[in-house]
Every structure is written in structure tokens, then in C-alpha cells.
Copies of this chain bind each other. A is one copy, B any other.
């Protein structure tokens, strides 16, 4: 169910076992070849495809598109949420619905930089509402195997404006891919240091990270379908209920 298009009496009638799904994206630089809205476009497209298959098991909210993108702010056009505003937006969505009895919330994330903030937000909510269920995951988590299978460049996962992400955009919104600007970037040898926080202007030449020139729409379609399939299974299981020890 798409929350945005429903009326309040229709929402009132929904089963409270439904999983509220909140896509999170970003509006941030994706090199010279992908549009700023890439992460939001992909998180939305995947989530809508999942919703199309799950129907009354899933209540899809609009995408929280203003992501945590401080590491891209040196590139013009990036819009980054201050941390408190990011956390507050997730909390606002959840806490508007809890008084009406909704109790299962899952974030489908399309931007790596949101991952830790999503974790922090969901943990704060779980602490406040221990009897509700909260979860979050990147859509690409469900496409890891598919990515390894179809990607032909040296990186087998999803980086940033890379072979995988450009392929996905070629599949979903091909008219927004600047074909003539495709370039590989961020390929300097990695430092041997673990755990450092880097900004993209420190580690790339023009903002992308990976082998964009190898992207094809077919690769994108395969990764997309894997993500959708995995999410359908995951969200369906949450809706159906699953048992923990001691609960």
C-alpha cells in the first residue's frame, strides 16, 4: 500500500501487522555522470517494486530523500541533513504512526552514509518502544550475490556512482545517465589503514568511486531484481511474524 495515495479512513482499516517501510536516500554528488538524486531514485524504485508484490503486507511511505551526506558537501549541489534533523525525521515518521497501533517499521536504505544514522535512529526508537519491531538495511544487502555474479570490473559490490550504481540507473532511469561523461575514478591504491572517515574530495578526482565505464542496463536489471526479491522475502517474514526466544 502506498501511504501517500491513501485517505485516512483507508489507513484506519489496515491490519496492524503490516510493515511500515521507509525508504531513505540522498541528494548528493554522484560524479559527472549520475544525477544528484541517484540514491533516492534507486531506493524509491526498489521499494515501489517491493510494494507492488507485497500489497497489504507493506505500507510504503514517501522517501526521506534528505540524507546524511556530509562527506560529499565539498561538491556543489549536495544537500546534507544535519544529524539531528536526520534522526528527527525518522523518529517523526515512526512516532506519528505508533499511537495508531502500527508496530513494525523497516527502513530500506539507498545511501551508505545513512546506514549508521539509521542504526542510531532505530535503536533510539527500540529503546523507547521495546515492544515494537524496528529494522533497517540497504537494498543492496540483498543483491550481494547477484552483484558478484554480474559485475565484470574488479569491485564486486556497490561503491558510489560505480559499475553497479550506474547499471541500476541505466535500468531504472536511463535518460538521467550522462553516457558521454562516464568515467572510472577513485582508483588510487587504498591506504593500508583501517577505519578512517574520508571525504570524497580526498579520495576521488571527480566524485565517483569505481568502474562506471563497465556499466550496462542488463547488469542493473539483475541487481535490481535480486534486491527486490530479497526485500520481498524479508519484509514478508516480518509481516507474518517470527518468534524470538523468550517472547
Contact = CB atoms under 8 A, between A and B. Distances in A.
Interface in A133-174: 133-137, 141-142
Interface residues of A, number: 103
Interface string A164-205: 000000000000101001000010100111111111011111
Q: Is the interface of A mostly helix, strand, loop or mixed?
A: mixed
A197 B123 contact: yes
A70 interface: yes
A65 interface: yes
A30 to B, nearest CB: 7
B83 A89 contact: no
Interface string A64-94: 1110101101111111111111011101110
A193 to B, nearest CB: 5
B7 A246 contact: no
Contact of A88 (B71, B82, B199, B243): B82
Contact of A246 (B5, B65, B142, B204): B204
Interface stretch (A34-42, A50-58, A217-225): A34-42
Given A71-B126, A77-B6, A205 B246 contact: yes
Contacts of A11: 36, 76-77
Given A62-B40, A81-B92, A89-B89, A71 B123 contact: yes
Contact of A70 (B80, B124, B137, B244): B124
Given A85-B89, A89-B85, A195-B137, A36 B4 contact: yes
Nearest to A79: B96
The 9 closest A-B pairs by CB, nearest first: A85-B88, A11-B77, A137-B195, A4-B37, A70-B127, A188-B245, A8-B29, A116-B119, A135-B196
14 contacts: A61-B79, A79-B92, A84-B85, A116-B119, A135-B196, A136-B195, A141-B195, A142-B194, A186-B245, A191-B244, A193-B242, A202-B244, A202-B245, A204-B246
